[in-house]
Amino acid sequence: MTTRTPVRIALAAVTLTLALAACAGGTPDTPDAAPEPAPPATPAPAGETAEQDALVARAATDLAVFAQPGDAAPSLTLPATTGFGSARALLVDTVDGDWLRVLLPTRPNGSTGWIRRGDVELRRVDQAIEIDLAARTLRLLVDGRVVVSTPVAIGTPDNPTPTGRFYVVDKLATGDPDDTYGPIAFGLSGHSVELSDFAGGDGQIGVHGTNDPASIGQAVSHGCIRVANDVITQLADLVPLGAPVVIG
Amino acid sequence: MNLTSGTRMLLVALTLAGSVLVAPAMALAETPANDEPIGPDDLANPTENPEPEPCDEPGDCLANPTENPEPEPCDEPGDCLANPTEDPGPGGEGGNPEPPADVDEPVLANPTFTG
């Protein structure tokens, strides 16, 4: 039996040598390894700079909003649903530990407040809407890619569409394609600067369809953004509550 | 009995000769019968199975390993639920999972936006 151990050692040495040789052949830094061709560079189209992967806070119950993180008492309490019945969704601007700074759907435009992270469910949103007032166009971007681009009607010079960073607060179905707002209307977090109230509301800006398709491309509204009915129907299938809307 | 020295020597010689003849015969009688002859192969390959040696050196037991084999890859869904090696995906690595954003259904309502 003493002759078996040297044989086993010799077999083990041969096996180990073969194994090491096989591993070395697959390493990427092998000089004779053919490099994979680099993918062609694809420059991003101009203007595709809308924010991606936005965070949206969803609240299932009334939500306490604080002026500063750690404040003892809230400065505001938002109901669990909007006045139209939409689920409460807030666009997150900053994450600071257990606190979130959110854009508020209140006047003045651009208002922010702090909420506790534990009070909401966080969702990542890949969709973003960009509205170019000069070009009178709306684009929907998903993961930074334009998936919808369409002409729009905007506010008149006396009742201009406000500019800034907003988000979708409401998604409403009118139930009537011939309604003034068309079949679908998005309510935004922004408000008209000129009008403190309108049609029984508080001057909230919207993106909606229309029963006047000839107005698309014109500056004829009281501040809302009008799109064709088939477009707003398409947007309704793609855009969640809380999606950012940048108007400029 | 008075024997001559020559007679005594003869008796001793006969006794010795008898012993030499009888002993091999007794030995053959006590040896069991062996049906097959013992050849060189039998010496090289003993019929008794020796105890297997422990696999105490690398490569000792490649043909019949007794050590734990390498774990199999998780190449099928559900293969590695107890000990996943696949990427857990967004929100994994112990963090809070973030569900994909749902596209909310519109709420039936009469808008009052700034048409």
B107, A84: Cβ pair inside 8 Å?
yes
Give the one of A11, A201, A242 whose C-beta lies nearest to B112's C-beta: A201
A180, B115: Cβ pair inside 8 Å?
yes
Q: Is B70 on the interface with A (CB under 8 A)?
A: no
Q: What is the ipTM of this complex?
A: 0.74
A8, B60: Cβ pair inside 8 Å?
yes
A56 interaction partners in chain B (CB closer than 8 Å): 101
In the three-class reduction of DSSP (H, G, I as helix; E, B as strand; rest coil), residue A189 is classed as strand
Identity of the amino acid at B14: L
φ/ψ of residue A158, rounded to 5? -80, -25
φ/ψ of residue B36, rounded to 5? -120, 145
Question: How many angstroms separate the CA of residue A93 from the nearest CA in chain B?
Answer: 17
The position carrying tokens 């009688």 is B29
Q: Is A10 on the interface with B (CB under 8 A)?
A: no
Residues of A catalogued as catalytic: 208, 224
Q: Is A206 on the interface with B (CB under 8 A)?
A: yes
Q: What angle do CA A198, A204, A206 make, to 5 degrees?
A: 110
Q: What angle do CA A145, A150, A153 make, to 5 degrees?
A: 135
CB pairs under 8 A between A and B: 124
Give the one of A4, A175, A206 whose C-beta lies nearest to B114's C-beta: A206
Which chain B residue's Cα is nearest to A85?
B107
The alpha carbon of A218 is separated from its chain's Cα centroid by a whole number of angstroms, namely 27
B113, A224: Cβ pair inside 8 Å?
yes
Q: Is B102 on the interface with A (CB under 8 A)?
A: yes
The class (CATH top level) of A54-125 is mainly beta
How do the pLDDT tens digits run along chain A, 248 residues long?
Answer: 333 444 343 334 333 333 323 222 333 233 333 333 333 333 333 333 456 689 999 999 999 999 999 999 999 999 999 999 999 999 999 999 999 999 999 999 999 999 999 999 999 999 999 999 999 999 999 999 999 999 999 999 999 999 999 999 999 999 999 999 999 999 999 999 999 999 999 999 999 999 999 999 999 999 999 999 999 999 999 999 999 999 99
As a whole number of angstroms, the distance between CA A190 and CA A186 comes to 12
Domain ranges of chain A: 10-33+126-247, 54-125
Alpha-carbon separation of residue B5 from A90, B2, B17 (angstroms)? 138, 9, 18
pTM reported for the whole predicted model: 0.61
A10-33+126-247: which CATH number, 2.70.70.10, 2.40.440.10, 3.30.1370.100, 1.10.15.40? 2.40.440.10
Interface mutation target, options A170, A222, A229, chain B, most CBs of B under 10 Å: A170
Which chain B residue's Cα is nearest to A187?
B113
**Residue B47, token pair as written in the block:** 């019929």
Lowest average pLDDT, out of A144-158, A194-208, B13-27, B71-85, goes to B71-85
φ/ψ of residue A132, rounded to 5? -100, 105
Q: pLDDT at position A179, please?
A: 97
Q: pLDDT at position B11, please?
A: 73
Mean pLDDT score of chain B, rounded to an integer? 55
Q: A188 near A205, Cβ under 8 Å?
A: yes
As a whole number of angstroms, the distance between CA A78 and CA A74 comes to 10
Query: What is the percentage of chain B residues whose pLDDT exceeds 70?
Result: 18
Interface mutation target, options B48, B62, B113, chain A, most CBs of A under 10 Å: B113
In the three-class reduction of DSSP (H, G, I as helix; E, B as strand; rest coil), residue A5 is classed as helix
The position carrying tokens 């857990």 is B88
DSSP code of A119? G
B56 interaction partners in chain A (CB closer than 8 Å): none
The alpha carbon of A146 is separated from its chain's Cα centroid by a whole number of angstroms, namely 13
B108 interaction partners in chain A (CB closer than 8 Å): 172-175
Count of Cβ atoms closer than 10 Å to residue A156 Cβ: 15
Question: How many angstroms separate the CA of residue B95 from the nearest CA in chain A?
Answer: 12
Q: pLDDT at position B54, please?
A: 55
B107, A184: Cβ pair inside 8 Å?
no
Identity of the amino acid at A19: A
